[in-house]
Amino acid sequence: MRSSLVYAASREIPNRFQLCQTISKAARVLHLASNPTEGTINRVLQNISHPASELEAKGPEAAV
C-alpha cells in the first residue's frame, strides 16, 4: 500500500531527494507520540498526493 502512496506523491514532487526531505520534515511536525510513526508517514504521503486545493474543490466531506 505504501508504494502506491509514494508513487502518487512522486507525481506531485518528482525529485526523489526533495520528496524524502519533505516527508521527513512533515512527519516530524505532525507526529504525535501516541500514534505509530508509520501512520504519520502514510498520512503525510496522502496529503502530498492530494493537495489541499483538490480537497477544497471537492468540498468539506472529502477532507474528513
pLDDT recorded at residue 40: 94
Q: Which residues contact 59 (CB under 8 A, 6 or more apart)?
A: none
pLDDT recorded at residue 53: 56
pLDDT band at 1 (very low <50, low <70, confident <90, very high): confident
pLDDT recorded at residue 2: 84
Query: How do residues 9-50 score in pLDDT, each as one tens digit?
Result: 999 999 999 999 999 999 999 999 999 999 999 999 999 998
Burial state string for 12-50 with b = 16 or more CB within 10 A and e = fewer than 16: ebeeeeebeebbeebbeeebeeeeeeeebbebbbebbbb
User: Residue 64: is its pLDDT beyond 50?
Assistant: no
